[in-house]
Structure formats: C-alpha cells, structure tokens
Chain A
Amino acid sequence: MANFIAAKIPEGPLEKKWQNYKDQAKLVSPNNRKKLEVIVIGTGLSGASAAASLAEMGYQVKSFCFQDSPRRAHSVAAQGGVNAMKNYKNDGDSVQRMFFDTLKGGDFRAREANTYRLAQCSAALIDQAVAQGVPFAREYSGYLSNRSFGGVQVSRTFYARGQTGQQLLLGAYQALLRQQAKGKVKIFNRHEMLELVCENNTAKGIITRNLVSGKIERHAAHAVIIASGGFGKIYYLSTLAMGCNASAIWRAHKKGALMANPSWTQFHPTSLPQSGSYQSKLTLMSESLRNDGRIWVPKNKKDARNPNEIPESDRDYYLERKYPSYGNLAPRDIASRAAKEQIDNGFGVGELKNAVYLDFAKAIKDLGKTTIQKRYGNLFDMYEKITGINAFKEPMKISPSAHFSMGGLWVDYDLQTSIAGLFAIGEANFSDHGANRLGANSLLQACVDGYYILPYTLQNYLATQIDKPKPATHSQTFIDAEERVKTQLQTYLNTNGTKTPDEYHKELGKLLYDYCGLSRSRKGLTFVIKEIQRLREEFKTNLLVLGDTNQINSELEKAGRIADYFELAELMCLDALNREESCGTHFREEYQSDEGEAVRNDNDYAYTAAWEWTGNPSQPELHKEKLVFKNVSLSTRSYI
C-alpha cells in the first residue's frame, strides 16, 4: 500500500498559480538576509545561477563542486540549444503551447503546474543571458535567431553554435565569481559532498571531502540546495562526464529525501558507439545530423561488405520503413529503441556489431558536398577526430547512449524535497520533463530553477529561519556524520580485494543497459535485481583501492560513487518493475501494441513514483504523487 503525497501546488487557474505563489510567498528583509547562510552543491547552470542570484539578494552562499573550477560543470557540454517562449518567429508559439509540448513530450507524466511555470519563466532567461553577454546566434539584422528542435512545430530554440551550454554556463559562472569577489559567495572547488546532515528531518548542513588535502570538513547552513546534475553515468558508458555522480542526491535520499521515477533515463540516439572494452565515455553527435542522414543496417546479418558496397536492395532503412511520416526524425526514445532492436537482433554494424549506419551519401548527392559541409562541417570534423573516419566517404556509425536522468530527488512545487530546508534544482530533481525530456528543455529548466524559482521559494522557507542561529558544526549530529564518512572511506581502503571501482562500474553499467535501459521486462528486471545484489555484495568484500584518505585519491572518490550507484541501480530496477506500463523512455516490453509502440496506462499509473529509503536497498517504500490533468486531455503519442 502506497501513501499519497502532495506537491503543495498553489490555488488558482494554471496561468495564475505562479503569480499567486509569488504574491503570497514570505519575504526576508534585506538586513536579515546577510544573517542567513545557504549551501549550494553544484555549479552547473542550476547551481551557479541559484548561488549567484541568492548572493545578489544578499544571502551568504557557499558553493561546492568537485571539478577544479565551477566553469567545468557538465552543463558545459550541452550543444544543441535552449528553448524559450519568445515567439520571435511569429509562428504561433505561446506559453500554453510550450507547456503542452513539454507535457506531451514527457508522455503526460509531469506535473501540470510545474511545466506551465517552466514555460512562463522561459522568456526571462533569454533576456538575462543576453545581458550577461552570452553570444547567441543572430540574424543579419542583429536580432536573435531561432531554430526548431525535435518534437515541436515552432522554432523556439536559441543557440550559440554547438556550444550553448558552455556559453550559458559561462554567463552564470561569471555572475557567480562576481559575487565571490564581493565576498558574498565562498567557492569550494575540488570538494565533494559526502553526507547530508539533518536534525528532525530538517537539513542543517553537509560533510565534504577536500579532494586535494583529503580533509573531511563540516559545513552548516540554514538551507541546503542540491544542484548536482544527472546520474546517467550510472550506465558507465554515457554522454556524461566522468565525474558525474548520484552521490549528493543518494546521500540525501538515505537521510529521508524521496527519489522520484529513478528509472526514467533518456538515451540519445546519435552518439558514437563503443570501440572497445577500454571505452570510458560516448560522445554525443548533434541530433541535427538526422535531418539529412539516413539510418540503416544491412538486411543480411552476416553482410561483411564495406557499407559503400552494399547495394540499396540489401539495406534496411528501418526508421523510414517503420515510421513513414517521421522517418529518420522520429523522437529520441523511438529512434534509440529501434536502433537497439536492430543491434540486439544481430544487425548491428562495426567491429563490435554495436552500431547502425547514419549515411549522408544521398544528401551529398542531392544537395552537394558544399551544402553538407556548411551544415555539418564541424560535426564531421569532430567525428573524424574521434574515429579517424571521413564521413563524406563512409557512413557514420552511431548508437544510442544514456544521456539524461528525468528521475531524481522528489520535490514539491517549491522545489523543496521531503526534507525541510533541502531543495533540489536542475537535473538533480525529478523535474518537469515527465517520462521523456524534449531537446533543449533541460538547460532551460536548470536555469529557470536557479534564476527565477528558487530565489522565491527558498526565501519563503528562509523567512521561517530568521530567528534561528546557524546550526553549530560542533553538534553531535555533525560529529557523528563526519565519523560515518571517515569510517566509510577507510572501509574502501581496507577491503583490499582484487577489483577496481571502474571494473565494478563497467559491470554494473552493462547490466543496467541490458535490462533497465532502452527497454525493460519483468523477467529481465527480476533477473538483474538479483545480479545487482550479488555484485554489490561482491563489491563490499572485493574492492581494491590503494593509497590513503589524506591526499588526492581519484580511486577513493570513484569507490564512493560506485557504492552509491549500486544501491541506486537496484532502486531504478524496482521502479521500472513497479511501473507496469510503457511511457516515454520507459518501455516495458509487456506493454506494447501490435506495432511495437508504447502503451500507456493512465488509469493506474498517472502518478509519480516517489521512493523512500528504509535502510534496506531492496525494500524501499513507495509513495505516490497523483498527477492531475485539468488543462489538457491525455492523448497517445504517435509518430507513425
């Protein structure tokens, strides 16, 4: 029996909710703000924008990241663009439409009020970014340029070449450092959060490890904000950075914060395939390639010919065959799943038979090499840099790869988790994307959370903390938390087994990819849960980490992250097992139509699954947040 939880959505019609909230939210007067201290974990778009905005308001902020500079958070890698409702193209965009696109893209598994607010706040972000000096693409006239992105019919994507995330992040980073220079923000680079400190289900601070000196440090604050990004790296091979992790959210989860829809992971269809067992990450190639590239596999499994020598009659353009109207432009989840199906059925190409072809021969013939060069020149260069292959002469090889976590810490309308004073923003929360995220919506969400929502909702919470002194770091709770962290780190070193954290990570990642990845089944999930449990037990006794805790020790850092992944992985599988429907990226093989399309079950599963830690990773407790749709009618996503 699951409990139902409420999201504290404000009263009023959809379009008035956020205004109503702001009108009634409690405030903190400027002279009180400097007495209040806030911890922000993460310096990505969400963390940096939140930390900068809060400091500008006058709060004392401590900002943490594990990289050597805040500017390196993985938001930096986002290429495509950021959505915003400006309707500069006069092509019929509106808040309502953006709201609907997002909700539909997410297969109606997101909260109406949050999604609407995201669309409402989107325009202001572009203003802010431009004022910060973000060099968005422009028309000859000097006005901002837009392009369209998958899953929508309007052009609302703003972009800065293929480096939109980098440019937005630098804007937020610079704002953050400006506050540092003013003494309002203290930045802790190369620091990893290893524990959340709570008293009476209220966040009081964190324990961190200084990754250079190894020192375990205590930090107290009136509120803690987690902006630690996505955990797609759990699959080991992903488009995420090597250091991306679930530790911040997982340690919070173990202190009582609910985890929502953890199994919902978006797989990107156009990343580069693995080339060997040494492979550490999969590079994303922009999805725009699918505008002119045709995806195919040989009809004959054993066809070992060079792709250029395979005649048309022996090729299967499976996307064009299965989805005649969208063809190669089918949405991410569908394109990814179709590729995996071909690979699983033995039609994969390349040395490891793990890829499909993305072919530009026709486009080059029809449009000319110069046009293709102009459109995708930099992507072709990048492809050649990595693979050594010239895609003008030979089709690219691509494969789907883990990319974005729709799941994360459960938060209410205030972005507050189920622990008082603990907020989660950006990709770290379960957010506004439902069961599938639309391209270019997550940079937006990270920014909107940090610049425009948290400053109000956090203040609403902090107003209740004005007369409370900053928690003391010498309290017993802090001392105990620090001890626990130290003991745990020491345990990793003492295990002295035979396998490195990376070896475990690869094994775990492969299990998840195969059984809790692009498609899931009851049988597979039941099987893999056992496997994960077995591997987790082995990890505890057979881990090999050298060195000591009081110096730079990357392997030790990895060990902690993998330990958390092992527990989270099981929760992901349990979550996937629990949801007996297919929706968005969550494809349960048992729930598909005769044509192989996802079949949603709105009667039984129109809810957010929020899991509570019970002390036993195999027995989490399920809470449900009912999703109520008053402003849209639920339709079936169809791309055939």
Chain B
Amino acid sequence: MPMKLQLKIWRQKNSDDLGKFNTYELKDLNPAMSFLEMLDTLNLQLIKNKEEPVEFDHDCREGICGQCGVMINGIAHGEPKNITTCQLHLREFKDGDTIVIEPFRAKAFPVLKDLKVDRSAFDTLIASGGYIGVETGQAPEANTTPIPQEIAEQAFDAAACIGCGACVATCKNESAALFVGAKISHLASLPQGKAEREKRVLNMVNRMDELKFGHCTNTEACQVECPQDISVLHIAKLNYEYLRAKFKK
C-alpha cells in the first residue's frame, strides 16, 4: 500500500542564514521504508529536479553511532519513545500525513546546514574529564579487581549513551545533564574511576556551564526521548557527585 506524505523541512544554507520551512510532496512510499530512506528518496527527487538536496546527519543507520537526530513533528527522534531517527519507519505515520522536520536546536548546538548541527560541545565535555586517565601499558591484570555484577550492569546502563544530543534538544533548559550524568555515573561507579572522581565532576560541570548548556530542573523529558532510555537518576548521581566533591574541597 503506497503512501503519500507531505514534508515541511527546515532549510538553512549555513549557520548565519535565518532559515525557513520548505514543503515537499512524496508519493509512492513504502511503509516498510525507514525515515532516513524517505529523506534519501526526497533527495533523489530534488536532485533530479535540480534542487539542492536536504542535508542531514546519519551514519550507522542502526541506532548506535548517535549521528542522526532531528525533530520530527516537534519531538526529538520522532513520536515512538526511546529510538533514534534512523530506527523510525514510515509505518508509524498515516497516508497523507504532514511531517514537520526541524534540526535539533540549542545554543550549544549551532545549525550548520539544513538539519545538520554541530554537537562538538559533547566532545569538549568528555575532554574536560569524561575518562579514566589510564595510559596504554599501565593497566593491571583485568581480574585483580572483581566488580560485583550489579555494579558492572549499572555502569553499563549509564555507559550505553550514544551521544546523540536528543536530551539537550528536548530539554526546555537545553541542559546536558543527562549526557554528563551518564558519563559521571558510569565512571564513578567503577573502582577504576575513583581516583579522578572529584576532579572529573567539578571539571565537567564547570565546562557544561561554559559551553552554554542550561541548568537541569528535573523535568525528566530527556529520558523519554533518549534512545538508550538512560535514567534521570544518573542526573541525581551527578548532583550527588558534584556536592560530594564540593564538600571535600
């Protein structure tokens, strides 16, 4: 059953351009098609008509690299909860629907072109402390420090973040607390991460402010849109670690 869709897509030439919506029509779409394949199809149609294709970020197309991500009908990664844009399929829409597509927006994520945004602020955050400072060759035998299974599992839950930025895009405060909280929580819960525990959280939180991310007020919207369903409790853990580090200082 072929589908017809109308797309309202944000077009912006570069970061200085003001940008605007353009409307496009697509016919004969297969409901089994993925959302990004629909954009491919649109682009093919545009190019054939000598119009510039829509730029959007994507790579793995299986929900793990974190490079895709747009606002679909006003929701980060679209209506279904806890998925990435590349995992969205057209069967989620109805024939004849209009879909509004906008880039992720935040002061810390400037739009580069159309739907592409610059999320390098996330890298800057990790560089400010989101690591365990072990260098190649320094590691002791892996089984010297047993880690209880539930701790390892908790660490994993936090470490699963794919760095897509949906949490920031969906947050009314543009806060990166879930992203940073996940990293802090991952590293602080492991024995290996204890040595740099205080330094790490203080640096990352300070850098978060410098990078123009907003302040978390616990609206909890982030977890709903997070493809990995990272728990908001990691933000509480971030607060705990931060206060603890402040007290120690």
Residues on A lying within 8 angstroms of B by beta carbon are 49, 52-53, 56, 67-72, 74, 76-77, 86, 88, 124, 126-133, 135-144, 160-161, 163, 166-167, 170, 173-175, 177-178, 180-181, 187, 189, 212, 241-243, 275-276, 278-281, 283-284, 385-388, 451-452, 455, 498, 500, 502-503, 544, 546-547, 551-552, 554-555
- B139 to chain A: which residues have CB within 8 Å? 124, 127-128, 130-132
Which of A132, A143, A279, A502 gathers most chain B CB within 10 Å?
A: A132
Q: In the bound complex, do residue A554 and residue B55 qualify as a contact, i.e. CB atoms below 8 Å apart?
A: yes
In the complex, 27 of the A-B residue pairs with CB atoms within 8 angstroms, ordered by the A residue number, are A67-B67, A69-B122, A69-B123, A70-B123, A74-B60, A77-B60, A128-B136, A131-B138, A133-B131, A135-B156, A135-B159, A138-B148, A166-B160, A167-B159, A178-B127, A178-B133, A212-B112, A241-B59, A241-B65, A275-B33, A276-B33, A278-B40, A385-B89, A386-B87, A546-B52, A547-B52, A554-B53
A343 and B148 CA atoms in complex are apart in Å by 47
Q: In the bound complex, do residue A551 and residue B14 qualify as a contact, i.e. CB atoms below 8 Å apart?
A: yes
Q: In the bound complex, do residue B62 and residue A77 qualify as a contact, i.e. CB atoms below 8 Å apart?
A: yes
Q: In the bound complex, do residue A166 and residue B162 qualify as a contact, i.e. CB atoms below 8 Å apart?
A: yes
Q: In the bound complex, do residue B64 and residue A77 qualify as a contact, i.e. CB atoms below 8 Å apart?
A: yes
- A212 to chain B: which residues have CB within 8 Å? 112, 118
CB 8 Å contact bits of B106-147 with A (1 = contact, 0 = none): 000000110010111011001110111111111111110111
Q: In the bound complex, do residue A275 and residue B32 qualify as a contact, i.e. CB atoms below 8 Å apart?
A: yes
Q: In the bound complex, do residue A275 and residue B30 qualify as a contact, i.e. CB atoms below 8 Å apart?
A: yes
Known contacts A72-B66, A143-B143, A278-B40; is-contact A546 B50 (Cβ 8 Å): yes
Q: Which of A56, A133, A166 contacts B64 (CB 8 A)?
A: A166
Q: Which of B55, B60, B136, B148 contacts A76 (CB 8 A)?
A: B60
- A129 to chain B: which residues have CB within 8 Å? 142
B237 close to A (CB within 8 Å): no
B212 close to A (CB within 8 Å): no
A541 and B21 CA atoms in complex are apart in Å by 34
- A53 to chain B: which residues have CB within 8 Å? 135-136
Residues of B30-60 whose CB lies within 8 A of A = 30, 32-34, 36-38, 40-41, 44, 47-48, 50-53, 55, 57-60
Other A-B contacts than A133-B193, A284-B62, A546-B53, 11 sampled, CB-CB below 8 A, are A69-B66, A130-B145, A133-B155, A174-B132, A189-B120, A242-B58, A278-B30, A280-B34, A281-B61, A551-B14, A551-B113
B221 close to A (CB within 8 Å): no
The 8 closest A-B pairs by CB, nearest first: A142-B146, A174-B131, A131-B139, A127-B139, A177-B127, A135-B156, A53-B136, A130-B142
B243 close to A (CB within 8 Å): no
- B41 to chain A: which residues have CB within 8 Å? 278
B9 close to A (CB within 8 Å): no
- B74 to chain A: which residues have CB within 8 Å? none
- B55 to chain A: which residues have CB within 8 Å? 552, 554
Q: In the bound complex, do residue B91 and residue A141 qualify as a contact, i.e. CB atoms below 8 Å apart?
A: no
Q: In the bound complex, do residue A133 and residue B47 qualify as a contact, i.e. CB atoms below 8 Å apart?
A: no
Question: How far apart are A219's CB and chain B's nearest CB, in angstroms?
Answer: 19
B186 close to A (CB within 8 Å): yes
Question: How far apart are A51's CB and chain B's nearest CB, in angstroms?
Answer: 11
Nearest residue, chain B, Cβ from A162: B64
Question: How far apart are B199's CB and chain A's nearest CB, in angstroms?
Answer: 12
A138 and B142 CA atoms in complex are apart in Å by 12
Question: How far apart are A87's CB and chain B's nearest CB, in angstroms?
Answer: 11
- B192 to chain A: which residues have CB within 8 Å? 130-133
Residues on B lying within 8 angstroms of A by beta carbon are 13-14, 30, 32-34, 36-38, 40-41, 44, 47-48, 50-53, 55, 57-62, 64-67, 83, 87, 89, 91, 112-113, 116, 118-120, 122-123, 126-128, 130-143, 145-149, 152-153, 155-156, 159-160, 162-163, 186-187, 190, 192-193
- B34 to chain A: which residues have CB within 8 Å? 280, 386
Known contacts A74-B65, A126-B142, A128-B139; is-contact A279 B131 (Cβ 8 Å): no
Nearest residue, chain A, Cβ from B140: A127
Nearest residue, chain A, Cβ from B136: A53
A67 and B162 CA atoms in complex are apart in Å by 14
A-B contact count (CB 8 A): 217
- B59 to chain A: which residues have CB within 8 Å? 67, 72, 74, 241-243
A451 and B190 CA atoms in complex are apart in Å by 23
- B134 to chain A: which residues have CB within 8 Å? 128, 131-132, 175
Nearest residue, chain B, Cβ from A243: B59
- B89 to chain A: which residues have CB within 8 Å? 385-386, 388
A248 and B59 CA atoms in complex are apart in Å by 17
Q: In the bound complex, do residue B136 and residue A56 qualify as a contact, i.e. CB atoms below 8 Å apart?
A: yes
Known contacts A137-B152, A140-B149, A551-B14; is-contact A76 B65 (Cβ 8 Å): yes
Q: In the bound complex, do residue B47 and residue A544 qualify as a contact, i.e. CB atoms below 8 Å apart?
A: yes
Q: Which of B136, B140, B156 contacts A451 (CB 8 A)?
A: B136
A470 and B140 CA atoms in complex are apart in Å by 37
Q: In the bound complex, do residue A385 and residue B159 qualify as a contact, i.e. CB atoms below 8 Å apart?
A: no
Nearest residue, chain B, Cβ from A173: B126
Question: How far apart are B156's CB and chain A's nearest CB, in angstroms?
Answer: 4
Nearest residue, chain B, Cβ from A244: B59
Q: Which of B60, B87, B119 contacts A385 (CB 8 A)?
A: B87
Q: In the bound complex, do residue B120 and residue A68 qualify as a contact, i.e. CB atoms below 8 Å apart?
A: yes
A74 and B62 CA atoms in complex are apart in Å by 11
Q: Which of B83, B118, B126, B186 contacts A133 (CB 8 A)?
A: B186
Q: In the bound complex, do residue B128 and residue A67 qualify as a contact, i.e. CB atoms below 8 Å apart?
A: no
Question: How far apart are B108's CB and chain A's nearest CB, in angstroms?
Answer: 14
A140 and B30 CA atoms in complex are apart in Å by 47
Nearest residue, chain A, Cβ from B33: A278
- A551 to chain B: which residues have CB within 8 Å? 13-14, 113
Question: How far apart are B115's CB and chain A's nearest CB, in angstroms?
Answer: 11
A52 and B131 CA atoms in complex are apart in Å by 12
A498 and B49 CA atoms in complex are apart in Å by 10
Question: How far apart are A391's CB and chain B's nearest CB, in angstroms?
Answer: 16
Nearest residue, chain B, Cβ from A166: B64
Known contacts A69-B120, A275-B32, A278-B37; is-contact A135 B140 (Cβ 8 Å): no
Question: How far apart are B210's CB and chain A's nearest CB, in angstroms?
Answer: 14
- B153 to chain A: which residues have CB within 8 Å? 135
Q: In the bound complex, do residue A555 and residue B62 qualify as a contact, i.e. CB atoms below 8 Å apart?
A: no
Nearest residue, chain A, Cβ from B152: A138
A166 and B118 CA atoms in complex are apart in Å by 21
Question: How far apart are B157's CB and chain A's nearest CB, in angstroms?
Answer: 9
- A455 to chain B: which residues have CB within 8 Å? 136
Question: How far apart are B246's CB and chain A's nearest CB, in angstroms?
Answer: 22
Q: Which of A144, A160, A243 contacts B142 (CB 8 A)?
A: A144
Q: In the bound complex, do residue A502 and residue B44 qualify as a contact, i.e. CB atoms below 8 Å apart?
A: yes
Q: Which of B52, B66, B142 contacts A127 (CB 8 A)?
A: B142
Which of B41, B48, B60, B128 gathers most chain A CB within 10 Å?
A: B60
A445 and B29 CA atoms in complex are apart in Å by 42
- B186 to chain A: which residues have CB within 8 Å? 133, 135
Q: Which of A68, A139, A163, A387 contacts B119 (CB 8 A)?
A: A68
Known contacts A68-B67, A130-B192, A276-B33; is-contact A49 B136 (Cβ 8 Å): yes
Q: In the bound complex, do residue B136 and residue A280 qualify as a contact, i.e. CB atoms below 8 Å apart?
A: no
A187 and B120 CA atoms in complex are apart in Å by 11
Q: In the bound complex, do residue A144 and residue B143 qualify as a contact, i.e. CB atoms below 8 Å apart?
A: yes
Q: Which of A133, A138, A243, A284 contacts B187 (CB 8 A)?
A: A133
